[in-house]
Amino acid sequence: MKVTYLSIINQERKKRLKNGLYDYVTITMSYNTNKIEGSTLTLSDTQSLYEKNVILTGGHKVDDIIESKNHFALVDFMLETIDEPLTERLIKEYHQLLKKGTSDVEMYGIGRYKIFPNIVGDQKVAEPHEVPEKMEKLIANYNLLQTIDLKDILTFHHQFECIHPFQDGNGRVGRIIMLRECLKNDVTPFIISSERREEYIQGLKMFEKDPSLLIKEAMLQQEVFQEMAEPFIKHYTKLAAEAERSNSPER
């Protein structure tokens, strides 16, 4: 069996192994994707919340804490449903999990498309009445692809963010979809660093004119992930080879 990032993460998750690639992805993804959107939690706060259900520092918004915990569950749900096709229903479930228990529940509703117009900085996005048709077309076209590479994933992400289908949480839902599609299609995953927020946003803004900016940013983060994951790839590849030798018939 080929050793992949997904197979390693799933093995560790099922065995509840601590401080491995699964924990790294869960904590690092939750911290950075929420920090990009202005979360007050530090990386240490996020790790403590994940491991001990405790926040070390004060002064945090309640929604920031809830959304960080929700994101841990979202990573699990993404892994549990990774063999399913990408659908509007699944994406709405991602949003519902992310926003469960937050102030958005009463203000806007969760797990459903936006009902009020919104914008992203100075970028115009789809109006509420346009969202269902645009999302249906986006997902249908994506699912027609025979093979999926990094550029395909980034193109979907750009188009998703241009639609901005939810009232809030679009960036985080969009980034968990990117992680999912990388893992599912054996593309080296990447987690956008909150320290590279401006470069990431600029890459999204310029994508139609020059997709290379966002592609380069993703590739930079892929290198970070590869370096972190290298010992795990070596270890699990060695275990797989040993298991294959032990199961092969004697000559």
Tell which CATH classification among 1.10.3290.10, 3.40.50.20, 3.10.310.30, 1.10.1740.10 matches the domain 5-239. Answer: 1.10.3290.10
Share of residues in the chain with pLDDT > 90 (%):
89
Phi and psi at residue 236, to the nearest 5°: -75, -25
Element (H, E) at 242: helix 212-247
| Three-class SS state of 87 | coil
Phi and psi at residue 212, to the nearest 5°: -65, -30
What token pair was written down for 190? 């990447």
What does the H/E/C string look like for 189-222?
Answer: CCCCCHHHHHHHHHHHHCCCCCCHHHHHHHHHHH
Question: Which runs of E-coded beta strand occur in the chain?
Answer: 119-120, 123-124
* Better pLDDT: 250 or 145: 145
State pLDDT tens for residues 76-102. 999 999 999 999 999 999 999 999 999
Tell me, what's the pLDDT at 251? 45
State pLDDT tens for residues 97-132. 999 999 999 989 999 999 999 988 788 899 999 999
Token pair 């992949």: residue: 4
Can you tell me the mean pLDDT for 134-160? 98
State pLDDT tens for residues 192-233. 999 999 999 999 999 999 999 999 999 999 999 999 999 999
Mean pLDDT of the chain: 95
> For residue 250, what pLDDT band results from cuts at 50, 70 and 90?
low
The DSSP line for 117-152 is: --EETTEE---GGGHHHHHHHHHHHHHT-SS--HHH
State pLDDT tens for residues 8-30. 999 999 999 999 999 999 999 99
State pLDDT tens for residues 175-192. 999 999 999 999 999 999
Q: Are 95 and 169 in contact (CB under 8 A)?
A: yes
Can you tell me the mean pLDDT for 142-150? 97
Which residues pair with residue 119 across a beta bridge?
124
Domain ranges of the chain: 5-239
User: What b-and-e string marks burial along 100-135, b requiring 16 or more CB atoms within 10 Å of the CB?
Assistant: bebebeeebbbbebbeeebeeeeeebbeeeebeebb
